[in-house]
Amino acid sequence: MFEKGVVPLSGDRLNGKGLRVLIVHTRWNLEIVQALVEGTRSTLEQNHVSDIDVVDVPGAFELPFAAKRLIEASKQSARPYDAAVCIGVLIKGSTMHFEYICEATSQGIMNVGLQTGCPVIFGVLTCLNDEQAHERAGIGRGSSKGHNHGIDWGQAAIEMARLGKTQN
């Protein structure tokens, strides 16, 4: 049977021991964003990542800039970040410029990863309405609470951080 979504990893590929991870999140749509940050953070912790920094910015448009600055600054320290997760929620209808922000944010986040060499996870929900956004953060108000995508982003951060480390 077809199962939608990513096939989860298990075993050592999900072992985050010794990794340092940055979470940058927006204050736009904060109730939903907080659930996603918690999903990401608890997944990292459950998989033995003990060094996690959490920084907030106003909106999704600011995520790439902040991630790039913080990743670059960490390279001057004894422990550079091994991965970053950018988290935000864009809801169509809340703004006329939804499409522009989605485009700029997704391209920006991809570029930060490629330019810095630090894997950056795209933790931005782009939703048609509030209901979809709540469900994708695991806080749906209908019969199903949905699935918290922060869990997937935490796992992706560990997988990609480990990939980065084995290539060096």
Stretch that binds ligand INI, among 17-25, 74-82, 90-98, 110-118 (CB under 6 A): 90-98
> If binding is defined by CB under 6 A, does position 21 make contact with ligand INI?
no
Q: How far is the CB of 30 from ligand INI (least distance, A)?
A: 10
Does position 109 interact with ligand INI (CB under 6 A)? The reply is: no
Q: How far is the CB of 101 from ligand INI (least distance, A)?
A: 5
Cα separation, 25 vs 122, whole angstroms = 11
Q: Under rule CB under 6 A, which residues in 29-58 are in contact with ligand INI?
A: 29, 58
* Residue 43 contacts residue 154 (beta carbons within 8 Å): yes
Task: Give CA angle at 12 (34, 160), nearest 5°.
Answer: 55
Give the end-to-end CA distance of the chain in Å, rounded to a whole number.
38
Evaluate whether 55 touches 23 at the Cβ level (below 8 Å).
yes
User: Judged by CB under 6 A, which of 26, 40, 43, 116 binds ligand INI?
Assistant: 26
